[in-house]
Structure 1
């Protein structure tokens, strides 16, 4: 599904927005804490520790609004005809993604740290898109056999429903991917390397 391929790019956009806000300055935190807080904000919609990295409630609301708007834009630009991808289908799919993200698992551990640079290991259990796609294919085949009068519109809409449902259920890979993030201290705030964030956020849906 083209829509799913765009999700990691949307995640990246949000992540960079968070980084931009953090770079404005905030209380001193450890690189490990900074990594955990950033991932909690982006993936879990968890704002409980935003003050530790200098993000205000207003800024947080702006980040979430931008994220949800960007997510909807990504879904809308999937190339599927708007008669098939109705507002109702898009809203439900977006809701499923947001629900599923809260079930993504990750562990953060510091590998090394010197004066201005730190290495953080992240073990990430993202969505098992291969399993989700296979399940959707199998379920669609069964539905089509039971109801061969299904139109192309019916099939597309049902595929969004099934895939979205599995994402919302938190169908995750069993074996986590291990990735390393490099953090650099800037004005007493630990900042992640952007190119590595691209890989990490993409790993959620790959």
Structure 2
């Protein structure tokens, strides 16, 4: 799980890209609408409302390319030998993460708003990494007992396969985390505080 937590920091790359593009300006939205659109873009790969925050189709494509490239770099830097972490294993793990993100759940509600500042509450149900790790450990144990000749390479690759599969299945925590995002109005668009967005994204895998 340490490897996956290291991989998770690449979410920051996409977050900063989204914030930079939104700052270019766009139609007026409420703080909660802005929060929902940003989370939909980052987590769900949902572009249905990007025009409301001033993101063009071309910019959106750039965001997704940057995110997926960053995700692959994060996986590649997980500290596992490249003979074990082959391109095939990395591609499948990336695909599993992207599929799992679409199943992450969140609810957005405005807490307060004045002229230029607002606070939005986000209830987030991210991946239950403790449950996923326990499941992977149990399944690996059974596979090794059934086939004691498994090599270290086999075990590592199987662990990525199992963990990735559970993430893709959307194994989420039962009790959502409640977090607060602070927004400030810039160019008639509500902009989130970057550090709080990073904390929220980190909560998806913690």
TM-score bracket, shorter-length normalisation: over 0.9
**Matches of residues 62-73 of structure 1 in structure 2 within 5 Å?**
62-73=62-73
Whether contact under 8 Å (1:3, 1:74) holds in the other structure is: no
CA distance in 2 between partners of 1:200 and 1:71 (Å): 17
1:7-62: CA deviation from partner (whole Å, max 9, x where unpaired): 33211210110000000111111011000000000000000000000000000000
1:61-86 alpha-carbon deviations (Å, 9 max, x no partner): 00000000000000000110000000
Structure 1 position 3, deviation (Å): 3.0
TM-superposition CA deviations, 1:138-189 (whole Å, max 9, x none):
0000000000000000000000000000000000000000000000001101
CA distance in 2, matches of 1:8, 1:34: 23
Deviations 1:81-101 (A, max 9, x none): 000000000000000000000
Secondary structure of the structure 2 residue equivalent to 1:145: helix
Aligned position for 2:150: 150
Deviation at 1:2, TM superposition (A): 3.5
Distance 1:5 1:96 in 2: 15
State the 4+ residue runs in structure 1 displaced beyond 4 angstroms. none
Counterpart position of 1:10: 10
**Counterpart Cα distance in 2 of 1:164 and 1:73:** 16
Query: Are the aligned partners of 2:7 and 2:78 in contact in 1 as well (CA < 8 Å)?
Result: no
CA distance in 2, matches of 1:13, 1:184: 21
SS in 2 for 1:82: coil
CA distance in 1, matches of 2:6, 2:148: 31
Number of residue pairs matched by the alignment: 206
Q: Normalization by structure 1: what TM-score?
A: 0.99
Which sits farther off after the overlay, 2-11 or 53-62?
2-11
Give the drift of 1:106: 0.1
Aligned counterparts of 1:31 and 1:149: Cα–Cα separation in 2: 57
CA distance in 1 between partners of 2:167 and 2:44 (Å) = 14
- SS of the residue corresponding to residue 118 of structure 1 reads strand
Structure 2 runs not aligned, ≥5 long: none
- Give the conservation status (yes or no) of the 8 Å contact 2:8–2:74: no
Cα distance in 1 for partners of 2:198, 2:14 equals 11
SS, match of residue 48 in structure 2: coil
Are the counterparts in 2 of residues 184 and 190 from structure 1 also a CA contact under 8 Å? yes
Per-residue deviation, 1:6 = 2.3
Cα distance 1:108–1:7, how it changes in 2: closer, same or farther (>3 A)?
Answer: farther
Q: Structure 1 unaligned runs (5+)?
A: none
- Deviation of 1:136 (Å): 0.1
Once the two structures are superposed, residues 95-134 of structure 1 have per-residue CA deviations (whole angstroms, 9 ceiling, x without a partner) of 0000000000000000010000000000000000000000
Q: TM-score, normalised by structure 2?
A: 0.99
Q: Report whether the alignment pairs 1:172 with 2:172.
A: yes
